[in-house]
Chains A and B, each alone.
Chain A
């Protein structure tokens, strides 16, 4: 199994630019999660999907952030316009609906730097 795939691994952009992060979950997993990790706030859940439908987006910081899941094998997290405070590592994770604890499996993360 290839695991959760994220791209790009690193992104450096300038303030005001649009940023799109991509995720391919593990095949067969029903749930997909987007997290953000910063030194100040630790790991925060931004949004999660079940069967491609957004279920809880209460963690999305503001309207500049949006996430989509057009099909079971692809999701995007978009920031427009980006700001320096958005600099963080963004993780995508996926989980099956069954199994022990519906364990979440994480991708390698995307390190975003906004100058």
Chain B
């Protein structure tokens, strides 16, 4: 079974600084997707960034980027120029790329609470 581990229950960063959130996963599959979701106090789950396992290039979305290390099964999220609005719980998630009409289950990590200090 696939597992996703976020080893940092809490992280903090100063406004305008950079922070990296860690995520590791365990799978025997070679074709899959990885995601980072953000959950602010409003509880809404918001997609931050996604990565396809077959792509070597790390995904970037404005101030958010990932460091995808497939061999090490590591998928960290870097937030540059942190803003107060980045404060939230961040979840790493894995989904197997199933074939046909099957849909691989989305497995979430335990989450990391990010605090941004002004």
Contacts and interface: CB of A to CB of B under 8 A. Distances in A.
Contact of B44 (A31, A42, A108, A111): A108
B110 interface: yes
Interface string A11-24: 00000000000000
Contacts of B44: 106, 108-109
B103 A31 contact: yes
B106 A104 contact: yes
A103 B35 contact: yes
Contacts, number: 49
Interface string B88-108: 000100010100010101101
A91 B52 contact: no
A95 B35 CA distance: 14
A2 interface: no
Given A43-B91, A100-B50, A101-B50, A50 B103 contact: yes
Interface in A1-58: 31, 33, 42-43, 45, 48, 50, 55-56
